[in-house]
Chain A
Amino acid sequence: MYDLGVRIKKSRFDWVLMFAVIALMVIGTVAVLSSTVSLNSQSRLIRTQFFAIGIGLFFMLVVWTLNYQIFQDQWKYVYALAILILLGVLFFGVVDKGSRSWYRLPFFSIQPSEFSRIGLVLVIANYLDKKGPRIREFSGIIVPILFSLPILFALLKQPDFSGILTTVPVIMIMLYCAGANIFHIYVILSYVLLSALFPLLWTLIALNPDLTDNGLVNLFFDLASFGWNTLIFVVSVIALSYLLWRVFLKFKPFISGIYFAGIAVVLISGFLSGIFIKKQIKEYQYKRVEVFISPEKDPRGAGYNLLQAKIAIGSGGFFGKGVFSGSQARLGFVPEKHTDFILSVIGEEMGFIGVSLVMFLYAVIMYRIKKIASFARDRFGYFAACGIFGLFLTYFVINFGMILGFIPVAGVPLPLLSYGGSNMVATLSAIGVIQSIYSRRYSIT
């Protein structure tokens, strides 16, 4: 039960959270404004940004006034809507940069995956609330993953790898917080990693043809497509696991075969999905992987972008070059400067002060969400807050990690900061959910 000893202020709206959100939006808008000075479309971009902020704030207020529990009651509709808008985009969406992930409307475009992700968080939160104790079983952890499969599949079909990249960790974080068996999470994670690792390696080999001189490498590369090879691989994995189990039995008589079966299943399923994912990878995404591994290979391509982003941040120094004075972004050296690379604009123009302020504001948001999760009146609220916390954490880690050079270039924006209407509206709606949880916390009915 909730600890009644904790004093709770009788406020219905978390102003600290809201302050951090607004501060980020202000910094973001200034950075977007500054980075798009040289673009012809600047006025349109700024208009869209303000429009999105307006709509987003409106959504936030609506969701805040609604009881968030309505999402739990109507979870089936939420889920259906999340899947439908994603499936719809596969048929009615427009292709931009090789991905069919946008609805084109008369004045703006909508990226439905941003909203589906929030929907998925709510649906999984509902499941974790209702089937709480079952989460410790492997079957209990499989169900939420099955829930997310249609959405992940639709994202794969678009294909929107950054969408998957930001969804999977959120699910994992929710399962983790719900108390899933760490071993189960490891299994799932190794499956995910395997299904990413296989295509990654194949891509690497495809990009470096001289590697195929090695017979083993060549053999491995041949596995990349379905055929007799696939069957041989599957059979040999099963056989090897079985053999391994028998060998282990000699030393440790009471070891369960389930572990070896698990290894085999994970290996085979990861391998199979790897083949599937490989087929969806676009040429330019190949490049990104390659550039991360050896940036000097393509100084004018994707590695160039990353380098320019780094130069932008580094050249900002402690105090920055001053807003509207960043040469890197203004002269077009940094790509996607108003969306995924907005941090480099802030780093260049506002310096270390700006970047650390942004980090601090995200920390404040995440801290408030964690706090509000602990105030939540029900488990649904708690898990929903967990999911939204995971969402922020994922975006934060991937985007910062990308620009600081820890992980490959991925098209992941910074919520509330980057230009992007759908992300802005979806994020503000999520903030609305948090506010709603806060205003309906345990002490107030």
Chain B
Amino acid sequence: MIESGDDFNRFDFLWLAVYFIIFVFLIKIINMQVIKYSYYREMSDKNRTQIINQTAPRGKIITRDGVTMASNKPSFSLIYFPNPQNSQQTIRKVAHLIAKYSDSDGKKIYASILKSQGAMKPVKIADRLGASSIMNLSELKNFYQGLELISEANRFYPYDNYLSHVIGYVGKIDSNDWKIYSSDLNYSMDTFVGKTGLEKLYEGKFKGKDGGLYMEVDHRGRLMRIMDSRQGVPGCDVHLTVDFKMQDAAEKALASLPYKRGCAIALEPATGRILAYAVKPGFDPNMFVNYKEDKKEFDVKFDEFNIGVQGTYPPASVFKMLSTIAILESGKVRPDETFYCPGFYDAGDRIFKCWEKKGHKEVDLLKGLAHSCDVYYYNAAYKMGPLAIETAARKFRIGLKTGVDLPGEKSGNLFGPTVRASQKSYWFIGDTLNLAIGQGETLVTPMQMAVITAAIAGRGAIYRPYYVEKIVSRDGELVTGGKPEKLSQVELKEETWDLLYKALKSVVDEGTGRQAWIKDLEVYGKTGTAQNPHGKDHAWFVAFARRVNEAPGVAVAVLIEHGEHGSSAAAPVARSVIKAFYEDKITPAPEKEEEAGEAVIVE
């Protein structure tokens, strides 16, 4: 019926076109589905998944007796899921309500919601929500579906201001921190980082690895389901050398005093471990965790000044320990040689007073130290010359930093004729006298004083003080550990040590340091009252203690600003710290023997 063969060729030609079209399509499909598969797959996964960062718990800070000084508390954050169909009005209303319930700045929340809408990405708009906020926000979900509350770990310090100057605090990352941490993917603009102290020092160890919620969202960005929640890896725990009982005793003792500032430092003489480090006033690091920038009435007022290493004071009578060592080592003044103390010393052009106006009458070395007789030391210093004292001070590293890992440590000031000479200035007789009783230009930090005390307790071994015993990952793997580091060894004659110990013991037993006396223990101490031209004098007390026939276990230095008398203000603090150290170590059995031993030494 169909005549023209030509017509069939046209259909065949069309069929060729079909082949060609299929060929082209096939190439395109292979290109999309096989060659560019991974690209499209990634796009598709990116489409449907949204990741919300979930902060990993920071590592804990644990004392050596197992008390946690810094842990984590769960808190809730509010996530906003954008929806392209939200009208400006809805957004404004949602922002307003969230601001109201979460107690934060509405404008800021509005801005972050707008950002979320623009990028079609869920955004964390409020964190650290309180219980009442959570209640209200849960109800808000009925009004607007795109809200989710997720739980996160937040820093929590159970003992408020204990050890606050060592631990430091965390705060929201700022532009300076960002420069340091931005290369680390674990950090985002709302991460909390350590700002001072341990928290800053070991930021990298504490941080851990953040987890995330992998959420499947639909094309409107609404949460369909949580596909995966990758648990974060908690940061490493830091174990401190600090003993909680002692810290507790020190903090409480300082707190009970009426003075504004003070500090108590306890060291282990044999290693340099810091057993307690209490600074008054401390601060509550928790307030930085809950700090909201947009709340104006919250004005952070706290004392970040760490007087333990940043405050320098004249060592005053405490320095007489070193003067005593100089006297004994120089050999120019015999220990039993006496000087008469009428309550003052006539240096020719000037009268130097003893702190006891009535005078101490005849004073030998033991009595001189026990009662801290200034006149005795004036005489002795005059006799042996200032160089011996300066040498002793140099041996005990006055004027050098202790090297403790605390920020802003001061080195104090070494004072003596050679120092004066290097400054191309003259040395006067009055300088010798001042040097001997620790006034003049000698300046020490409480930490230096603690180190010196520990060095005396340890018969000359000077250790670098440290407070991080070990850093352990959550798997129990040791990351790093602190090690005792001996800085130097002070070599003195044996009898010098013995006599010094005897003198220091008599300070506590019958002298100015009686307030530090503890039954069953041998306590060695020295009080000090640093003259302060700007106000009331500062009170010093240093001490170490041991059980009979044992090496001293603890050395303490206490400074109370404007505490006036070392004996009344500082000594009780040292006493309670030492007591706390020996509390469960004292066994009643050798009681009598100890008493007997004591009596012999006092005589």
A residues with a Cβ closer than 8 A to B are 1-2, 38, 173, 176-179, 300, 308, 310-318, 327-328, 331-333, 347-348, 351-352, 355-356, 359, 363, 366-367, 370, 373-374, 377-379, 382, 386, 389, 393, 396-397, 400-401, 404-406, 442
Contacts and interface: CB of A to CB of B under 8 A. Distances in A.
A278 to B, nearest CB: 30
Nearest to A334: B219
Q: 3 shortest A-B CB distances, which residue pairs?
A: A314-B40, A315-B44, A332-B219
A332 to B, nearest CB: 4
Nearest to B84: A300
Nearest to B120: A300
B599 interface: no
B28 interface: yes
A331 B217 contact: yes
Contacts of B45: 315, 327
Given A333-B219, A352-B29, A397-B21, A317 B41 contact: yes
Secondary structure of the B contact surface, majority rule: helix
Given A313-B29, A352-B34, A331 B11 contact: no
Contact of A314 (B4, B18, B37): B37
Contacts of B551: none
Given A38-B218, A311-B40, A382-B2, 11 more contacts: A179-B4, A300-B84, A310-B40, A313-B29, A328-B47, A332-B220, A352-B33, A356-B29, A359-B29, A377-B1, A379-B1
Given A310-B40, A311-B47, A318 B7 contact: no
A418 B538 CA distance: 91
Contacts of A396: 21
Contacts of A404: 25, 28-29, 32
B39 A314 contact: yes
Contacts of B6: 179
Contacts of A379: 1-2
A312 B7 CA distance: 42
Contacts of B22: 359, 363
A314 B48 contact: no
A177 B29 CA distance: 30
Given A331-B217, A356-B26, A359-B26, A370 B33 contact: no
A177 B43 contact: no
Nearest to A304: B219
B36 interface: yes
A327 B7 contact: no
Contacts of A2: 1-2
Contacts of B4: 179
Contact of A318 (B8, B11, B14, B33): B33
B111 interface: no
Contacts of A442: 1
Nearest to B41: A315
A314 B26 contact: no
Nearest to A366: B18
Given A317-B34, A366-B18, A400 B10 contact: no
Contact of B44 (A311, A318, A386, A400): A311
B478 interface: no
B8 A327 contact: no
Which of A311, A379, A404, A442 has the most B CB atoms < 10 Å from its CB? A311
B14 A327 contact: no
Which of B33, B40, B224 has the most A CB atoms < 10 Å from its CB? B33
A327 B215 CA distance: 13
